[in-house]
């Protein structure tokens, strides 16, 4: 099954560690990919249920070819990721991480990490204005922030300026990413896009690692062409060597997490399996 889930959530389901001919369901997470080879080995498979928002770790083509249902839990951690995004933004604007490191190194200087800024009056661009992007938008509006947004669908929210991506990158003080990983969003933010941003702008990614060219972000930060970046996700997790640059914050794919969110994800994923196996 790839992951350890709470025993009470799995009550009544037969758990197996090695797939066999009689496996009808897979319960998984992004840390346990379900590829075409595994699907081909399971002739009785009817459903793949992932306790996560995204499902890019499941081979959808292989599942569709067999008529296998693929289910995710798109709304279990909306508030957690939105909160993490705001925490990133505040940490960069107020130099929280850098100042903490200065104090730990024995230096007591409020101006030692450069200019600190305030959030009110800023213009923040949201790329991907769905559930999570919308939750971030609501928080920003409450804090007096001007919000621009870009999405593949029409954005229907008062007070949000719908902008083409390049215009958003040029015009915003900070840009936060909330898009799924698709062929269209893979490498969405690279050297060309970073060059459009203001030298003091901030980039936040709590979406998917491959959406951003991390090497290009590091280069931009080291060259002073970007004001700061905060990444909760990386193309390879965990990284062999974590990226490092001035004013870069990296967290270990933690934006989704709270004990309550984890419980919601597992419960919903298990419920989908139960319903699929109960169907004729």
Name the residues annotated as catalytic: 208, 237, 253
- The answer for residues whose C-beta is within 8 angstroms of residue 102's C-beta and 6 or more apart is 108, 109, 112, 113
CA–CA separation, 214 and 123 (whole Å):
23
Residues 6+ apart with CB under 8 A from 65: none
Nearest Cα to 160, choosing from 188, 139, 191, 182? 139
Query: Distances from the Cα of 15 to the Cαs of 1, 24, 196, 269, 277, in angstroms?
Result: 7, 11, 50, 14, 14
Is 201 buried (19+), middle (13-18) or exposed (0-12) by CB count in 10 A? buried
Backbone angles phi, psi at 167, to 5 degrees: -65, -40
Helices assigned H by DSSP within the chain: 36-40, 60-66, 78-93, 96-104, 131-142, 165-171, 191-196, 214-222, 259-278
Tokens of 265: 């994800």
Phi-psi sector, 139: left (phi>0), alpha (psi -120 to 50), beta: alpha
Nearest to 228 by CA among 60, 73, 114: 114
């Amino acid at each position: 099954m790839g992951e350890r889930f709470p025993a009470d959530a799995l009550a009544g389901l037969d758990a197996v560690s090695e797939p066999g001919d009689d496996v009808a369901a897979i319960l998984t997470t992004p840390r346990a990919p379900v590829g075409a080879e595994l699907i081909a080995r399971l002739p009785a498979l009817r459903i793949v249920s992932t306790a996560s928002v995204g499902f890019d770790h499941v081979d959808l083509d292989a599942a569709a070819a067999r008529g296998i249902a693929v289910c995710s839990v798109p709304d279990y951690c909306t508030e957690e990721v939105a909160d993490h995004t705001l925490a990133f933004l505040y940490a960069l604007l107020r130099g929280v991480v850098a100042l903490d490191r200065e104090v730990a190194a024995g230096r007591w200087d409020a101006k030692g990490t450069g200019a600190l800024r305030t959030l009110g009056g800023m213009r923040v661009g949201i790329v991907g204005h769905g559930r999570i992007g919308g939750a971030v938008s609501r928080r920003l509006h409450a804090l007096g922030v001007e919000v621009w947004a870009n999405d593949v669908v029409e954005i229907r929210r008062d007070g949000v300026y719908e902008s083409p991506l390049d215009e958003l990158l040029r015009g915003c003080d900070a840009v936060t990413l909330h898009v799924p990983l698709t062929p269209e969003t893979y490498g969405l933010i690279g050297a060309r896009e970073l060059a459009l941003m203001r030298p003091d702008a901030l980039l936040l990614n709590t979406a998917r690692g491959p959406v951003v060219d991390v090497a290009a972000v590091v280069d931009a930060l080291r060259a002073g062409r970007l004001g700061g970046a905060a990444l909760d996700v990386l193309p390879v997790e965990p990284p062999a060597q974590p990226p490092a640059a001035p004013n870069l914050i990296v967290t270990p794919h933690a934006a989704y997490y709270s004990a309550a969110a984890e419980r919601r994800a597992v419960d919903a994923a298990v419920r989908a399996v139960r319903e699929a196996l109960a169907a004729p």
